[in-house]
Structure 1
Amino acid sequence: MRRLEEDLGARLLERSVQGLTLTDAGARLFASAEPALALLAQAEQGVHDTAGVSGRLRVSLPPHFEPLWHAFEGFGARHAGVRFDIFVTDRRVDLVADGIDVAIRVGDGGRGSYVGRTLARYQTVRALVADTRLLSPLVRHFLDFMAETVPTTLDPYAAS
C-alpha cells in the first residue's frame, strides 16, 4: 500500500489506533477501480466456475440421434440450472435466424461461417455454432461435455 501511495504521490489510507480509513484520494481511487475489479472477478469466475453454468440451451438434432439423449440427461443432472430446448429436424437450420445455440449433424458441417467440432466418428459428427464470438461459457462447456460423453458410434446396431 505504501508503494502505491508513493507511486501516486498521495495518501490513500489514514492510519490510526482505531484502524484504517480511506482518505479523499483513496475513496476516489477505490470508486474508480471498483467497476474494473468487479469485472475482473466476474471474468475469473466465468473461467473457473463451470459448475455454476445455467441458462437455456437451444439444440437442433436429427431424428435418428436417440443415443445422444443420455448425454443431455447427464449434462442436465450435473448442471441443474440448464434448460434444454431440443428441436428435432432433418432440415438444415439457420442457427442465427432460428435462435439455435448448437446444431448436431452428421456430415461435413455444411457451408458458411459455422464453427464445427467433431463429437464422434460416424462419417463425421459435428456441433455447429454461427460464430465463435457467440460461444457463451455455457455453450463451450456443453460442447466439451458432449465431446467427452457422446457414444463412439451412433449406430445402435453396431457390434459392441
Structure 2
Amino acid sequence: MNAVTDLTDVYKDQLKSAKRGVAIIKGKYAIVRDEVKAKDKSFLLRWTMMTTAAVKIDDQNTVTLTKGGKKLIMKIRHSRPISIKQWPTTPENDYDAANPGTTLIGFEAEVPPNEQASFDVFLCPAKNKNSLDYKVDPLTEWPKD
C-alpha cells in the first residue's frame, strides 16, 4: 500500500521539484521517501516529525523512539550527507498553541545547486527491525494502485 504526491507547487520558490511517497511494507514498517531537485542555488532541506516519545539518537542514521515500553526505530538512508537533530516545540509567539510533552526529531541536508537528492525514512517497530529491506525504488517506479 502506498501513495505518492507531487509537492513542487508548495516549494516552487525553493525547489525545481519535490515529490513524496509513503508506503507500508508487508504490514511491518513504513517508508517515507522524498525526492527533491534544487534550483540554481543550494537548498537546506529540513525533515521533521513531531513525537511524544523519548528520543535517543543512536548514530548518524538511526534514532530510537520509546514510549510505553515500546520502541520505534527511525532509520534514514540518504543520497546527501545529513545531520540528525532535535528541535523544541515551545511556541515562539504568544498566539501559537503549546505542544507540551512533544519534540521534533529529524534531519537537515544541504542540496547543492541543480542537484537531485533522495531521502528514505524507515519507521519500524523494534520487533520488526530484521524485516527492513533497504532497497527502495524511485517514486516513478512505485505502483500506481
Same-fold status (TM-score > 0.5):
no
Whose relative contact order is higher, 1 or 2, with alpha carbons under 8 Å and at least 6 apart?
2
**Which is higher, the Rg of structure 1 or of structure 2?**
1
TM range (shorter): under 0.3
